[in-house]
Amino acid sequence: MNLQSSKDILTALVGFDTVSRNSNLDLIAWVEQYLDGLGVAHERIYDETGKKSNLWATVGPAAVPGYILSGHTDVVPVDDQTWTNDPFTLTERDGKLYGRGATDMKGYVACCLAAVPDMLKADLKKPLHLAFSYDEEVGCFGVRRMIAKMPERPAQPLACFVGEPTGMDVVIGHKGKRSFKVVVHGHTCHSSLAPMGVNAVEYAARVIAKIREISDRHAKSGAREALYDVPFTTGHTGYLHGGTALNIVPDVATFEFEFRMIAADKSDVLAQEVIDYAKNVLEPEMKAVAPEAGFDFQGRSEFAGLDTPEDAEVTQLAKQLSGRNSHSKVAYGTEGGLFSQAGIPTVVIGPGLIDQAHKADEFIAVNELAKCGAFLDRLIAHCAR
């Protein structure tokens, strides 16, 4: 991979404001033009609005099993962050490239694109697929459409490398996540008549306490996976809104909660315990006072965990290509869980550090791009054999 070329491409990619709420089509069109210049065919896989698209491209023989290079094109917002320079103008200082998405994860996408000329020269026996998604940061939505199309492809991939920033460490696992929004409907009245009302804030609090109880149980005696910083399943409530004044029994309250699961714990079981408590224990009590009272659980987001075995072929190959002997598991989620769920062996390995992601003055070190380039060079050689 040509390092200068990866920097030039990263400059172009960072220049597109692809915060998840925006369209990513300008960036996609730029990448298509680049691939057209190299004679590489590509395919869009749109969202339901037609305003965002995944991009799929194959270099090498498509009818043979190969490897997926997976990256997302969207980035998190810069709202309320103080940046030294314009976040959408890549700026180099002291061997670091600053810009929104530099590390998460346009740096990897730029490396993959910069490696395409080498892929073309290499006479690949196994193909390399570029799989660039939209809406990763808001729940890994885009990639699901790309994965859904996999069975129609002429050959199923051998493995997938998701290039989220790991400092080129081989990451074989991350937790899954499941989250809900809950609307609690109560019954309002003057607070002096409290027992005649159904206090939505109080019932929300009781469900939240249940979520905490489940979390505490997992912290104390739940299954363990030592490679995680927090080696057990966690739960958490992110916000609670409800009520207007002290003398009014609140008739509505809203909160959101999540579970982040290690592989041993199933999201359905965790969610059901909360829902059962709300529906079977609390709701009859509420309805006895006011029939319209109750809970409305709305699923928010869900992504599968990643749990690739240490001795899997993809783990061994990633170690060989990156020159590492170790592997790790990370706290954040990736598209890797979905590829893995679809039966594609997957590891997460990419340039830059996750500590840099989502912050003001996000950057990627130039030598991280170089390390990723070396990884891709070895992967290309592996595929040319």
Q: Which residues in this chain contact Zn ion in the complex, by CB under 5 A?
A: 104-105, 164
Degrees (nearest 5) of the Cα angle 246, 252, 255? Answer: 105
Q: Which is nearer to Zn ion, 111 or 253 (CB)?
A: 111
Determine the residue with CB nearest Zn ion.
104
- Number of Cβ within 10 Å of residue 212's Cβ equals 14
Nearer to Zn ion, 53 or 166 (CB): 166
Starting at the edge strand that comes first in sequence, how are the strands of the sheet with 91-93 ordered? 91-93, 96-98, 363-365
CA distance 337 to 333: 8
* Tokens of residue 30, six digits: 């730029």
- Closest alpha carbon to 259 in 280, 238, 245: 238
| CA-to-CA separations, 278 to 184, 272, 299, 336, in angstroms, rounded | 10, 10, 15, 33
Helix (H, G, I), strand (E, B) or coil at 294: strand
Residue 317 or residue 348: which is nearer to Zn ion going by CB?
Answer: 348
Which residues are registered as beta bridge partners of 289?
none
Pull the structure tokens for residue 140: 């890994």
For the CB of residue 72, give the shortest distance to Zn ion in the complex, in Å: 6
User: What is Dmax (Cα atoms) for the chain?
Assistant: 81
Min CB(54)–Zn ion separation in Å: 15
Min CB(361)–Zn ion separation in Å: 17
Number of C-beta neighbours around residue 263 at 10 A: 17
Closer CB to Zn ion, residue 165 or residue 222? Answer: 165
Smallest gap from Cβ 20 to Zn ion, in A, equals: 11
Of 32, 17, 1, 9, the residue nearest 130 (C-alpha):
32
Cβ atoms 24, 74 nearer than 8 A: yes
Kindly tell me which of 141 and 232 has the beta carbon lying closer to Zn ion: 141
Q: What angle do CA 319, 323, 328 make, to 5 degrees?
A: 45
Q: Which is nearer to Zn ion, 105 or 131 (CB)?
A: 105
- Least distance CB 156 / Zn ion (angstroms): 25
CB neighbour list of residue 365: distance below 8 Å, 6 or more residues apart: 95, 96, 97, 352
295 CB-near residues (< 8 Å, 6+ apart): 182, 183, 184, 185, 203, 207, 275, 278, 279, 282, 283
Phi-psi region of 95 (alpha: psi -120 to 50; beta: other; left: phi over 0): left
Crossing angle of helices 366-384/107-114, nearest 10°?
40
Minimum distance of Zn ion from residue 235's CB (angstroms): 23
**Min separation Cβ 356 and Zn ion, Å:** 11
CA–CA separation, 161 and 317 (whole Å): 11
Identity of the residue, 127 or 336, whose beta carbon is nearer to Zn ion in the bound complex: 336
Min dist CB 75 to Zn ion, Å, is: 8
Q: How far is the CB of 106 from Zn ion (least distance, A)?
A: 10
Shortest spacing between CB 6 and Zn ion, in angstroms: 18
For Zn ion, the closer CB: 104 or 258: 104
* Whether the Cβ atoms of residue 107 and residue 354 lie closer than 8 Å to each other: no
Residue 164 or 251 with smaller CB distance to Zn ion: 164
CA–CA distance, 203 with 184 (Å, rounded to integer): 7
- Which residue, 127 or 305, has its beta carbon nearer to Zn ion? 305
